[in-house]
Structure 1
Amino acid sequence: MTTPKTLTTLTYACITLGAFLTPSTAEESKTMTKEETNVLSVIETMTSSFAKADIDAVMNTYEPDAVILFEPGVGTSDEDAVRQSFAQFASMNPSFSYGGHQVVVAGDVGLHISPWQMKGTGPDGNAFETGGLSVAVLRKQPDGKWLMVIDNPYGNLHLDNQ
């Protein structure tokens, strides 16, 4: 039986994915620098990998010790917990819509911000809808590749509580 806490945790887990499902538009891409485009490419790679339920490829878009918040205020970098949470995403068949995104790069640090809405089906079979503002921090690796370091889908949490 699915408890409300389990459904809530799974819903929060799906929120994290929202940071990575923002498609780029031609207009947004025109204004991006090469490095901003590279940061966005990591997001798009994660998105396409998730759509294929390729959890290994999803994990390859994160640094090994990246912190992901699958629920507000609670980050984890435990690989098994992260893999399990991402696997639960696939079982919920989430669909996302976005109000756009912003990418900012300063040296070897990138920031990806995306407002999102998500619809899905919980483990109990009930439909749900949620949304928020996802904030992801990426770091450029010595080989030039960008990887996510922090993934927080609750960027609007403090604003909503003001």
Structure 2
Amino acid sequence: MTTVHDSLAEHIARFTAAFNTGDAAALDQLYDEAGVLVPFPGHLVTGPRRASAYEPLLALGLPMRAELRHAYVAGEVALIVVDWSIRGTARDGTAHDMAGTAADVVRRTPDGQWRYLVDNPFGTAAPPTP
């Protein structure tokens, strides 16, 4: 029997699989229609711009690793805390070492899948100062 925690971990696995294949459209399918991506602190992206917001990271060709740390579920909505990293040498030869702890909100749809309402990969990081 699959637990709610297991189904949320599966959601994270689907996300990393889509990321690691470089498929921005598959990533976008993991969002609720009204879902918001926070590509960097203080900046929100919705609708068709979500997929294009991933393009710079996907272009690196580096794998993402992600692990569900905590899940807090209220009915069909959950707050998930996810540790993630993207490390390695990109296609252009540059070294990258990125990591963070996401604070995301997801909603379970009638088909049983979780979809992002808020995808905030940098969690509590402060927005850039003007």
TM-score, normalised to structure 2, is 0.78
| 1:54 to 2:23 alignment | yes
Q: CA deviation at 1:133?
A: 1.4
Which has a greater percent of helix? 1
Counterpart position of 1:34 = 3
1:1-162, aligned counterparts within 5 Å?
34-79=3-48, 81-97=49-65, 101-121=69-89, 125-158=93-126
Structure with higher Rg: it is: 1
> How far apart are the structure 2 equivalents of 1:132 and 1:49?
19
> How far apart are the structure 2 equivalents of 1:57 and 1:98?
17
Unaligned runs of at least 5 residues, structure 1 = 1-32
Contact 1:36 1:104 in 2 (8 A): no
Secondary structure of the residue aligned to 1:101 is strand
Unaligned runs of at least 5 residues, structure 2 = none
Which has a greater percent of strand? 2
> How far apart are the structure 1 equivalents of 2:104 and 2:125?
15
Q: How many residue pairs were aligned?
A: 125
TM-score, normalised to structure 1, is 0.65
Aligned residues: CA RMSD: 2.5
Task: Give the partner amino acid of 1:45.
Answer: R
